[in-house]
């Protein structure tokens, strides 16, 4: 599995860019990406794992489709183009994941919006009761925001276009893994050009060893009915035990259910603040579908008025 796919040529890493990456990671670094059945690691399944490994000895690849043992929703097929027919004869995650981590050799891992990709890997590691290696996890999107400033968008496809990175098959894991690592290299290069400190800590989001309580990855009973709402990103209203609007109803558009070292979260857009936020599942007191759009607008107005 850890071979270069026949259908793609060896990516041409810029020599200076490769040197910058290896200065930051002298032993090597792995760029990775996943394709999945949805955005929630606590619910959805991995259907493709790919990675590019850069070491002083050269470049190597891991590229593997995964049988998720369920039908892939059409809305995700429309994004990445991976069909049920394509994965039906592929190995299952319990066979792929150990080989993937053997390929990574304990090196630092880089992904674009790494919180999502690594959430899937962490959840499956614990579900399969596999040993968690001590990888450092870095987010190329987070680092680009602090290094490649004043960009209209930090989506991988837009950054690749602006930086001249070849991204022929966006939303396929190998191409996105390579592009994400190259974005990270450009971010390092930009900091060096500005004579700024490398400050890699600003891109590090956690270490795999931080996830030490697998039993906490299970969804609370009162959250389980929320799964279809999250899958469809359907608006909900909820009462939350913390924050500015403590224990008061607030409208939220759910995006994903994610595992984090400090506990599972609902990642979603708070319509009151018009910001994407993380809500600890343990602090969601109640939730429901809003009665109508008038209720949503009323709650937004009331909560914002309380801040004046």
Characterise 181 by phi-psi region: left (phi > 0), alpha (psi -120 to 50), beta (else): alpha
Distance from C-alpha of 42 to C-alpha of 219, rounded to nearest angstrom? 7
Q: How far is CA 264 from CA 20, 106, 257, 282, in A?
A: 35, 25, 7, 8
Distance from C-alpha of 38 to C-alpha of 227, rounded to nearest angstrom? 11
Q: Using DSSP bridges, classify how beta strands 58-65 and 46-55 pair: parallel, antiparallel or unpaired.
A: antiparallel
Closest CA to 54 of 113, 10, 9, 5: 10
Distance from C-alpha of 132 to C-alpha of 115, rounded to nearest angstrom? 16
Pick the catalytic residue from 171, 186, 245, 301: 171
How many CA atoms within 13 Å lie on the side-chain side of 41? 23
Name the DSSP class of 92: B
Note if 245 is an active site residue. Answer: no
Tokens (6 digits) for 262: 């400090």
State the first-to-last Cα distance of the chain, in angstroms, to the nearest integer: 58
Distance from C-alpha of 114 to C-alpha of 118, rounded to nearest angstrom? 6
Handedness of CA 227, 87, 160, 75 (dihedral sign): negative
Active site residues: 171
């Amino acid at each position: 599995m850890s071979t270069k796919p026949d259908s793609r040529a060896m990516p041409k890493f810029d020599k200076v860019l490769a040197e910058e990456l290896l200065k930051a990671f002298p032993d090597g670094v792995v760029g990775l990406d996943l394709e999945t059945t949805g955005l929630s690691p606590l619910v959805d399944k991995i259907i493709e794992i790919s990675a590019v490994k850069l070491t002083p000895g050269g470049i190597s690849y891991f590229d593997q489709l995964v049988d998720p043992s369920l039908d892939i929703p059409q809305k995700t097929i429309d994004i990445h183009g991976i069909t049920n027919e394509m994965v039906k004869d592929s190995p299952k995650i319990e066979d792929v994941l150990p080989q993937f981590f053997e390929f990574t050799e304990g090196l630092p891992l880089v992904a674009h919006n790494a919180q999502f990709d690594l959430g899937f890997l962490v959840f499956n590691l614990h579900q399969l009761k596999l040993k968690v290696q001590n990888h450092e996890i870095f987010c190329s999107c987070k680092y680009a925001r602090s290094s490649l400033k004043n960009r209209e968008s930090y989506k991988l496809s837009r950054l690749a276009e602006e930086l001249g990175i070849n991204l022929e098959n966006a939303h396929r894991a190998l191409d996105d893994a390579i592009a994400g690592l190259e974005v990270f290299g450009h971010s390092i290069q930009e900091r060096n050009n500005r004579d700024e400190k490398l400050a890699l800590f600003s891109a590090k989001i956690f270490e795999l060893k931080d996830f030490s309580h697998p039993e906490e990855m299970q969804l609370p009973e009162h959250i389980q009915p929320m799964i279809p709402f999250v899958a469809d990103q359907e608006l909900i209203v909820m009462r939350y035990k913390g924050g500015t609007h403590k224990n008061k109803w607030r409208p939220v558009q759910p995006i994903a259910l994610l595992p984090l070292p400090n506990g599972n979260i609902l990642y979603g857009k708070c319509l009151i603040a018009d910001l994407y936020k993380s809500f600890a599942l343990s602090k969601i007191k109640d939730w429901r579908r809003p009665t109508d759009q008038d209720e949503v607008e009323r709650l937004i107005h009331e909560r914002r008025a309380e801040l004046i």
